[in-house]
């Protein structure tokens, strides 16, 4: 029987046939990414994979190259439900099939109550209506392609620090009208196959154990019939979570729901077999949907593949360009002309630390290995060359970094070569004398492979048969420099490691360590060391890594990293910061136009920890002020997944915000700068003038585990205006207009009546204001509701 034949399964009969142990096994994962299979009953395993801006596949380490889409805030800036549905159907669903994944762990539709939230880039918007309708479009498109979605993180998961312990304390009205509403709209309009609980508590109860949220609201009020799964390691009990309705614990590594513990809980009469079978039934129902939706996955070989097409690249580029927001355009300096000889600049200076950097997405589980990437610098250069090929003189491009923007030193996969000349370095895995020994065997390595990355999050992707404690040795040659230079290396580990260059110890992140936030909170801080590189010389780089933490002040435990070991090597030439800025100023002074590409990256915005400031990193603001002072035609392209401050806004000619755009970053930016694509995006969240202007400022952080949502309903722009309804006009020729209809339904006029636990619509006169943005609403009209009413459900 083919695994996909399960699409015809009689779920009632299978549930009746399950042994208690089989039912228990179905309620937790196997490894990191699979559900449990039961061969006896023909139940196949299904595989899930991280989203939301692409489908990574099984492995953080040496993952399958994949399409990286724009961040969710970028997709939110399109305000285009049709486009997002197309993304789900034509990009996400096919990518999931290429990764052999039946379910994607996306979309994320939490609310950016504060842009400091480390995963703000993963959610669509601070507005619950926009977030919910875009989430519904994402779900609809992907599921119409036969792939299940997992809308997350349900609910109140709006910051990262202390995320497994903090308690989101908020009013019933704010919970309903702001934080639950996106999930409610997604259920109403798209019916996701699964939903993922948040790590945190809401009003005192962990969501994964909360019958009010999981049973009363989700299943009873909203009529949800899909599966509820935990976030990874987001289960904190056996009986409470099962009784509350948490169907599937993920992952299967280090799980609570072992046969021993669940059986003991049943024997103690804290659970019944009926409770467990109810959870197992929902898992089986999801498997049946997956078997029907994409049978080729379950019947396939399980291998992950990469496929690119011209059509995919075109759509990726269009989606990226559609998300870009034009924030300022003094004297219509944009678009820059490459065809009109009278307007075409002779020289364009590109400055900024992000211009040549690979800034794809935010960090954490959203990160993946891109199948291709076009930097902003490359995109601009390509556009200039294409225009010149059509006739005319080619515009000269100059470049200066100006100010560095990275938090951790840049990875070195493009700077290292293996002994045979391949990109990267050679990795050898070594078992130890036994599972508890720190001494590697002197025999031949258990595995040898080329590793083409220097941020190596191994997770559980270790060789079969290796001991519990093990060693990975990495050898490579640094590409020669054309002059003598001091080179600064940075070594970060979840485990322990030493870096040697030419046999000389440069960094010891082994003997004593300092705990940090890397590798989902398991890593050290980045330890640094400087080594003098000689011109035209190949320098040997060697890292010895062991998956056992070193002792640290305040934490002497030498814990085994069994599910999250990792090592990261970065580096860069040592430069004088003053000289870098001076070089950029000189380059800018000599150009007709300056394009400054600056911003954040996946180190600054990442899962696991929150930002501490909205400011751009390092001396970026100083760079822009000084460049603009010598060249009034300065165009700033900013990259970030969430809000940043722009203290130089009055000094520059134009500002283009480009979020994180994925594979097509540079091409999309060039399309907007040179007029191939109209920058029709609108901000999906508020950019405050200063951090103090954010409504949740002063009560965003956890105080002994309590996060108080004191701003209540007034999140983001609603700190200044009221609620939002929108419609999208697309492909509108210049100078023309189109009539748009914005239907007002009960959601537009309802509020949560806390006293009675219902949605209420009051009779009376209401005012509608219409315009191009929340601060420009010139049209007004009133309407009257003659009779109020109450409602529940969706």
The β-bridge partners of 533 are 485
The β-bridge partners of 493 are 567
Q: CB of 617 within 8 A of CB of 407?
A: yes
Q: In this structure, what DSSP letter does residue 409 have?
A: P
Helix and strand element counts for the chain (H, E): 20, 31
- Structure tokens belonging to residue 566: 């990792």
Q: CB of 478 within 8 A of CB of 454?
A: no
Q: CB of 348 within 8 A of CB of 593?
A: yes
d(CA 80, CA 726) in angstroms, rounded, equals: 10
Give, in order, the Cα–Cα distances in Å from 445 to each of 123, 469, 471, 497: 43, 14, 10, 18
Catalytic residue among 80, 127, 158, 231: 231
d(CA 343, CA 352) in angstroms, rounded, equals: 24
518: burial class by Cβ within 10 Å (0-12, 13-18, 19+)? buried
- Structure tokens belonging to residue 507: 């960094």
d(CA 351, CA 595) in angstroms, rounded, equals: 6
d(CA 158, CA 138) in angstroms, rounded, equals: 20
d(CA 16, CA 281) in angstroms, rounded, equals: 10
232: left (phi over 0), alpha (psi -120 to 50) or beta: beta
Residue 231 a catalytic site member: yes
Q: CB of 365 within 8 A of CB of 104?
A: no
Give, in order, the Cα–Cα distances in Å from 738 to each of 56, 733, 784: 40, 10, 27
Q: CB of 580 within 8 A of CB of 620?
A: no
Return the closest-CA partner of residue 631 out of 427, 351, 228: 351
Q: Which secondary-structure segment (H or E) carries 427? A: strand 425-431
Length of the chain: 794
Q: What is the DSSP string of 209-278?
A: G-HIIIIIIIIIIT---SEEEPPTT----SHHHHHHT--BBS-STT-S--HHHHHHHHHTTSS-HHHHHH
Q: How many of the other CB atoms lie within 10 Å of CB of 402?
A: 32
The β-bridge partners of 148 are 103
The β-bridge partners of 370 are 66
Q: Which backbone phi and psi does 531 adopt, to 5 degrees?
A: -135, 140
d(CA 455, CA 568) in angstroms, rounded, equals: 4
Q: Which residue has tokens 């945190």? A: 200
Return the closest-CA partner of residue 522 out of 461, 396, 608, 630: 608
Catalytic residues: 231
């Amino acid at each position: 029987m083919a695994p996909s034949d399960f699409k015809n399964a009689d779920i009632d009969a299978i549930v009746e046939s399950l042994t208690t142990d089989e039912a228990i096994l179905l309620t937790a994962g196997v490894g990191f990414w699979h559900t449990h299979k039961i061969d006896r009953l023909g139940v196949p395993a299904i595989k899930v994979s991280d989203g939301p801006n692409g489908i990574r596949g099984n492995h953080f380490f040496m993952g399958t190259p994949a399409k990286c889409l724009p961040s969710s805030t970028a997709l939110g800036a399109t305000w285009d439900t049709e486009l997002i549905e197309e993304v789900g159907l034509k990009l996400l669903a096919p990518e999931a099939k290429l990764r052999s994944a039946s379910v994607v762990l996306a979309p994320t539709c939490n609310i950016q109550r504060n842009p400091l939230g480390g995963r703000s880039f993963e959610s669509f918007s601070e507005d619950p209506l926009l977030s919910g309708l875009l989430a519904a479009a994402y779900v609809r498109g992907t599921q119409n392609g036969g792939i299940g979605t997992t809308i997350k993180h349900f609910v109140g998961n709006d910051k990262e620090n202390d995320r497994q312990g903090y308690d989101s304390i908020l009013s019933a009205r704010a919970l309903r009208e702001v934080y639950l509403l996106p999930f409610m709209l997604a259920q109403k309009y798209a019916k996701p196959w699964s939903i993922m609980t948040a790590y945190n508590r809401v009003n005192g109860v962990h969501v994964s154990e909360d019958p009010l949220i999981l049973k009363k609201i989700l299943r009873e009020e909203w009529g949800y019939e899909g599966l509820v799964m935990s976030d990874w390691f987001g289960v904190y009990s056996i009986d409470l979570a099962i009784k509350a309705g948490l169907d599937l614990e993920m992952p299967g590594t280090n799980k609570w729901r072992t046969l021993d513990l669940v059986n003991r809980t049943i024997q103690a009469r804290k659970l019944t077999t009926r409770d467990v079978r109810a959870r197992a039934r929902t898992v089986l129902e999801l498997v049946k949907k997956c078997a029907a939706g994409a049978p080729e996955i379950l019947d396939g070989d399980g291998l992950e593949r990469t496929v690119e097409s011209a059509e995919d690249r075109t759509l990726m580029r269009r989606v990226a360009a559609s998300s870009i927001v034009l924030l300022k355009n003094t004297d219509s300096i944009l678009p820059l002309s490459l065809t009109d000889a009278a307007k075409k600049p002779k020289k364009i200076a590109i400055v900024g630390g992000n211009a040549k950097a690979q800034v794809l997405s935010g960090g954490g589980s959203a990160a993946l290995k891109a199948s291709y990437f076009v930097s902003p610098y490359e995109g601009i250069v390509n556009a200039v060359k294409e225009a010149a090929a059509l006739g005319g003189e080619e515009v000269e491009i100059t470049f200066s970094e100006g100010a560095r923007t990275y938090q951790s030193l840049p990875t070195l996969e493009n700077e290292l070569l293996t002994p045979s000349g391949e990109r990267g370095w050679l990795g050898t895995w070594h078992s130890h004398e036994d599972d508890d020994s720190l001494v590697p065997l002197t025999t031949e390595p258990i595995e040898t492979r080329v590793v083409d990355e220097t941020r190596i999050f191994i997770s559980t992707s270790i060789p079969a048969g290796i001991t519990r404690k093990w060693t990975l040795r990495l050898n490579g040659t640094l590409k020669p420099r054309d002059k003598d230079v001091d080179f600064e290396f940075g070594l970060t580990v979840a485990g322990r490691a030493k870096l040697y260059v030419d046999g000389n110890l440069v960094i010891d992140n082994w003997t004593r360590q300092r705990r940090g936030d890397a590798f989902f909170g398991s890593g050290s801080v980045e330890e640094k060391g400087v080594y003098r590189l000689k011109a035209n010389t190949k320098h040997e780089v060697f890292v010895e890594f062991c998956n056992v933490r070193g002792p640290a002040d305040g934490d002497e435990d030498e814990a085994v990293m069994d599910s999250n070991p990792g090592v990261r090597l970065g580096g860069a030439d040592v430069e004088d910061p003053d000289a870098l800025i001076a070089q950029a100023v000189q380059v800018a002074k000599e150009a007709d136009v300056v394009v400054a590409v600056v911003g954040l990256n996946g180190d600054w915005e990442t899962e696991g920890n929150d930002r501490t400031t909205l400011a751009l990193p390092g001396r970026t603001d100083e760079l822009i002020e000084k460049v603009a002072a010598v060249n009034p035609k300065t165009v700033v392209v900013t990259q970030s997944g969430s809000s940043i401050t722009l203290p130089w806004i009055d000094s520059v000619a134009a500002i283009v915000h480009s979020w994180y755009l994925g594979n097509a970053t540079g091409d999309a930016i060039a399309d907007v700068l040179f007029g191939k694509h109209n920058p029709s995006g609108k901000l999906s969240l508020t950019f405050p003038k200063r951090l103090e202007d954010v409504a949740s400022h002063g009560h965003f952080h956890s105080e002994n585990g309590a996060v108080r949502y004191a701003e209540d309903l007034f999140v983001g722009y609603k700190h200044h205006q009221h609620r939002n309804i929108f419609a999208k006009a697309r492909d509108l020729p210049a100078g023309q207009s189109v009539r748009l209809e914005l239907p007002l339904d009960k959601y537009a006029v309802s509020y949560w009546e806390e006293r009675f636990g219902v949605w209420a619509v009051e009779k009376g006169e209401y005012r509608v204001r219409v315009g191009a943005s929340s601060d420009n609403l010139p049209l007004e009209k009133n309407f009257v509701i003659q009779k109020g009413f109450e409602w529940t459900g969706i």
